[in-house]
Chains A and B, each alone.
Chain A
Amino acid sequence: MNIREKFGRAAAVDGLPIALALIVVIAYFSIASPFFMTGENIRNLLMQSIFTILLAAGMTFVLISGGIDLSVGSATGLSAAVTLLVLMNGGTLAAGIAAGVATGAAIGAINGFFIAVLGINAFIVTLASLSIGAGALQVLTSEVQLTGVDSPGFAALTKASILGIPAGLWVTLAIVAILEWILLATPLGRGFFAMGTNRQAAFLAGTNVRRLELGVYLISGTVAGTAGVLLASHLNSVQPGLGQGYEFTAIAAAVLGGIALFGGRGSVWRSVVGALFLATLSQGLQLTGVDPLWFNIVTGTSIVAAVALDRGVQHFVIGRLTSPPKQGTRSGPPPEGPATGAESDEEASVPVSTLSAARNV
C-alpha cells in the first residue's frame, strides 16, 4: 500500500505525464527530421521559448494562488518598448533594464491594487490592463520608431555565449530557479498555496490574504517586465502588437504542466516543461514541413490530449488509492461527512483550461 501510494504520488502529482509527453514529442521529431537534434536548432528552440518559460513561471504563482493574469503579454511588449526607448535616448544599460522591469512591476502593482485592495475580479482587471497595455504600446510605437540601438552590452544580455550557452538562457534559468525557491521554500510561497487551496480558511487562520494577492500580481508583472527586457535585447526592435497572445501561451504551458486553474497545486518547473512542450511542438512542425495553416489546430489538439492524459492518469491512480475495492456499498453521495474528493477542483478546471489554451496558442 505504501509503495503503491508513493508510486501513485510520483505519477499523479509530479507532472510526470507532461514530461513523458515532451520526451515522446522530442523523440518523434528527432526521427522525423534530421535537423531537429542539432545544436543549432536546440539553441534556437530554447532561445525562442525563454519568454514563454518566464511568463509561464510567473503565471504559475498567479494560478496557484487562485487568480489569473491576462495582462502579462502586453506587459512584456510595453516593457520591451520602454527599455528600448530609454536606451535609444541615451540611457545607460542599467537604466534601460531597470525601466523595463519597473514597467512590468508597475502594471503588476496596479493589477494587484484593483484586485486585492478593491476586490475586483482578477479576470476583468487584467483583461482591462491587457487592453490598456497593448494600446499604450501602439501609441508609443506610432510616436517613435523603436528600431533598436547599437549597444553591444544590451545585445549580450541574451546573445553572449557563456560555456556555449546563450546568456538569455542563463538569465532565464536563474530566474526560474529563484521563483521555484520562493514558491516551495519560503513562507510567502506557502501562503500562495494556502490561499489558492482555500482562501477563506487561510484568511480565518490568520494569513494576510490581501497582501499575498498583491504580491502575486507584483511577481507576475515583474517577471513579465524582465521577459520584456530580454525580448528587446533579443529582437532589438519593437513593433506594435509585440507580446500579443503570450498570456495564453503562458496559461497553456502552466495548464499542461498540471497547474490547477482553481489554485493550490503546481510548481514552476512543471510549467517550464509545459512551455518547452509547446515550443518543441511548434519548432518540430516547422522542421517537418507541416503546412503552417495547420499549426494552431495541431497545437490545440495536443494540448487537450496532454491535459487529458495528465488528468486521466491522476484520476486512475487517485481513484485506486482513495477507494479501496472492499467498499462495495452503493449508497447515495455522502453529504456533510468527511471529505474524500480531493481532486474535484482540478476536475472542474479542465474544460476551461483547454478551451482558452486551444483558442490562442
Chain B
Amino acid sequence: MSHNVVDTETETNAAGPVLIEARALGKTYPGVVALENVSLTLRAGQIHALLGENGAGKSTLIGLLSGTKKPDSGELLVDGEVRQFTNPKQAQELGISTIYQEQTLAPDLTVTQNVFFGRELKKGKFLLDELAMRRRVEELSGEFGLSPSDLDRAVGTLGALKQHVVQILKALAFDARVVILDEPTSGLEDDERQMLFEHMARLRDRGVALLWVTHRLDEIFGLADVITVLRDSRWIASVDPAGHTPDSLVRLMVGRKQLATEYDQVHAHRERGQGQGSGEEHLRLESVTRYPLVRDVSLTVIKGEILGIAGIAGAGRTELARIILGADRPDSGKVFIEGRPVSLASPREAAKRGISLVPEERKTQSILGTMSIAKNISISDLSRVTRMHAVLDRRKENGIARSYINDLGIKARDAQQKIVNLSGGNQQKAIVARCLFNNPSLLIFDEPTQGVDVAAKAEIYRLIYDFVDGGGAAIVISSELPELLSLSDRIVVMREGRLVGEVAGVGRQGNERSESESAELIMSMAARNTGLLVDNTLKEGVA
C-alpha cells in the first residue's frame, strides 16, 4: 500500500501556507485509546478529506482541532506556533470554525441573529448594532445562495442546505481560516449536495483550509485535494486522490487486520455448535418502510441463525430494530413471526411475542441507573416475580438475579448493587439477562460491544452463541466489521434506509472470501454508489 502514499509535507501542488499542523496527537480515555500518534497538515486553499470507519478516531481528531477535547500527547501548531486549547472559543479566535453534523443553530432565531449568536456586534456597551450585523451578513450571503429575504427568516424554516450555509456564514463572518465540516452532506438531497460542493470550492478559492469528514467515497473525487485515512485510532495514510479509486480507499480504511486472538476460541466454539437450529423461518419483513430512515426493507431471520446488519451511522439500522421491537410503527410493509402476520404496537407486545432488544446506548436507553441489578433484570417481566400476581416477591426476584449473575458471569458484589456502579461490560451482561428473563425467541443486539472491554466482548459473543444454539434467532447490529463478520452467519448491508446487499459471514458456507475481502465488500456497499457523480466543473477547478 505504501507506493501511493504521499507525504503531505512534500506535496506542493498550488496549496497555500500551512495553517494547522498536528503532530503525533494522542488521546486516551480510561480503558480506550481514542487516538494514537495522528499527524495532519491543513493548508490554506486546500480541501482535506478525512476518512475512516465508525470509531476510527475522526470525531476525536475533530474535537482536538476544535478545542472541545484536549490531547494527552503530541502537539498542535497554528501558524507555526504551539497552541493548547482549553476551550472551543480559543480555537475560534484563531480562525478555526467547526460545522458539526448535528445542527448547532438556534431554530427560532433569524439567519442574521444566528450568524452573530453569542458574538453580536455592539454599538457602545449595551446596544446591538443590527445594521452592521445585517450588512456583514448581506455581504457574504449572496455568493452562497441566500436571498436578502432569507436573512430575516427563522433558521428552522430553512432547508437543510441553507442551514449549512448559515453555519458557513457564521464561520466566515468571523474570518475563519480553517473550516472543519463533519459529514456535511448527510441529510441533503443530491442536488443540494452539489450546491454544497460548490460552496466548499468557493471557500477554498477564498483561501480557507477545509477539513472534510465524510463517509461517501464517491464524493471525494474531484473535490478533495488531499485524503487522510484513519483506522483503529491511528493515522494510516495521507494520499493524493489522483492515484486512488474508491476501492483502494476502502482497502486503506478496512486494512488487513487479523482476528484478535482472544476471540478465536469463542468463535471456534461457535463453529462446532453451528447448524443446531431447526432452519425454520422465525421473522420475516416484507417491504417495511418508515420514511425516511427505513425504506422498503425485506428480510428473513431463521431460527438458530445470527443475522448481522452492517452499515454506516445513520443508515437506518437502529430504526429498523425499533420497528421490529414495536417501538416505532412502520408506514407500510408487513411483519411475520413464524409465518403469521403480526402488528407490533409496542415493545410490550413484542416482548409477549418473544422479541427483546439490547439497545445501543446503554446509559440513555437500557440501564435503569440508580436501580439494583435485580430490579434491572426483572423489569422485563414483573408478573413472574410476584405472589398471586399482585405483590412483588423480593426473594424470588433476587434469587433469579443471582442465578443470572452466576450464569452470565456478571461481576457484581450482589444482586442489590446499583447497575451504574458496574463496568460497561457487566452492565451489558445484566441487560442481556433482562432480555433473557423475558424468554425471547428473537434477540436484537444493537452495538452490543460498544464501550465494553476486550474480555467482556468475548463473553458477550458467547452469550449470543449460546442463545442461538438453544434455538433462538439473533439480529446483531454492529459498526465493527471484524466483529460482525466473525459473529454473523449472514450479513445484510444497509445504506440510506435500504438493504443494498448480503454477504455470508467469514467461515460460513458459501463464503470463500477472507475476512478482509468480505469487509471491503461490505464497506464498498455501505459507503459507495450513492448515485452521485461529482460535477465536472468542479474537477476543472482542481486541475
Please list the residues of chain A having a beta carbon within 8 angstroms of any beta carbon in chain B. Answer: 185-187, 190-191, 193-194, 197-198, 200-208, 264-265, 322, 331-332, 334-343
The size of the chain B interface, using a CB distance under 8 A, is: 48
CB distance from B65 to the nearest CB of A (A): 16
B350 neighbours in A (Cβ, 8 Å): 206
Question: Are B364's CB and A203's CB within 8 A?
Answer: no
Question: Contacts of A208 on B, CB cut-off 8 Å?
Answer: 346, 348
Nearest CB of A to B55, in Å: 11
CB contacts under 8 Å to A, within B361-378, are: 363-371, 375, 378
Q: How far is the CB of B342 from chain A (nearest CB, A)?
A: 15
Q: Are A203 and B347 in contact (CB under 8 A)?
A: yes
Q: Which of B30, B351, B381 contacts A331 (CB 8 A)?
A: B30
Compute how far the CA of A120 lies from the CA of B434 in the bound complex, rounded to whole angstroms. 31
Q: Do the beta carbons of B371 and A204 come within 8 Å of each other?
A: no
Interface SS of chain B: helix, strand, loop or mixed?
mixed
B94: which A residues are within 8 A, CB to CB? none
B313 within 8 A of A: no
B371 & A193 in contact (Cβ 8 Å cutoff): yes
Per the bound structure, the CA–CA distance linking A190 and B375 in Å amounts to 8
B510: chain A residues at CB < 8 Å are: none
A206 and B347 contacting across the interface, CB-CB below 8 Å: yes
Q: Determine the chain A residues whose CB is within 8 A of the CB of B423 once the complex forms.
A: 338
Contact B379 A340 (CB under 8 A): no
- Whether A336 touches B357, Cβ cut-off 8 Å, given contacts A186-B392, A206-B348, A207-B348, is no
If the complex has contacts A203-B327, A265-B370, A342-B369, are A337 and B392 also in contact, measured as CB distance less than 8 A?
no
CA distance A198 to B363 in the complex (A): 9
Assuming the contacts A335-B29, A336-B451, asked whether A206 and B380 have C-beta atoms less than 8 A apart, the reply is yes
A190 near B29: Cβ-Cβ < 8 Å = no
**Contact with A201, one of B348, B365, B386, B390 (Cβ below 8 angstroms):** B365
- Complex: A349 Cα to B367 Cα, angstroms: 21
Contact, CB under 8 Å: A339 / B348: no
Chain B residue contacts of A204, Cβ below 8 A: 325, 327, 347, 357, 359, 365-366
Are B382 and A187 in touch, CB under 8 angstroms?
A: yes
CB neighbours (8 Å) of B37 from chain A are none
Q: B113 an interface residue at 8 Å Cβ cutoff?
A: no
Q: Is the CB of A342 within 8 A of B379?
A: no
B424 at the interface (CB under 8 A from A): yes
Q: State which of A190, A198, A336, A337 has its C-beta within 8 Å of the C-beta of B369.
A: A198
Output the least CB separation between A69 and chain B (Å).
22
Expressed in whole angstroms, the Cα–Cα distance for A197 and B427 within the complex equals 16
Bound CA span A197–B419, Å: 12
* Interface presence of B458 (CB below 8 A): no
Say yes or no: is B87 at the interface (Cβ < 8 Å to chain A).
Answer: no
Once the chains bind, are B390 and A186 in contact (CB under 8 Å)? yes
For B347, the chain A residues whose CB sits under 8 A away are: 203-207
A334 to B30, CA, bound (A): 7
Asked, given contacts A194-B368, A337-B30, whether A206 binds B356 with beta carbons under 8 Å apart, the answer is yes
The complex places the Cα of A298 from the Cα of B488 at a distance, in Å, of 66
Most B-side CB within 10 Å, residue of A187, A194, A334: A187
Q: Is the CB of B30 within 8 A of A340?
A: no
When C-beta atoms are compared, the residue in chain A nearest to B326 turns out to be A206
Min CB distance B142 to A, Å, is: 41
A193 to B507: give the CA distance in the assembly, Å.
46
The distance in angstroms between the C-alpha atoms of A325 and B453, with both chains bound, is: 24
Is there contact, CB below 8 Å, between A197 and B382? no
Is the Cβ of A200 less than 8 Å from the Cβ of B346? no
Known contacts A190-B379, A339-B420; decide if A202 and B368 are in contact (CB<8 Å): yes
Please name all residues of chain A whose beta carbon is closer than 8 Å to the beta carbon of B390 when the two chains form the complex: 186
Which chain B residues in 314-367 approach chain A with CB under 8 Å?
325, 327, 346-348, 350-351, 356-357, 359, 363-367
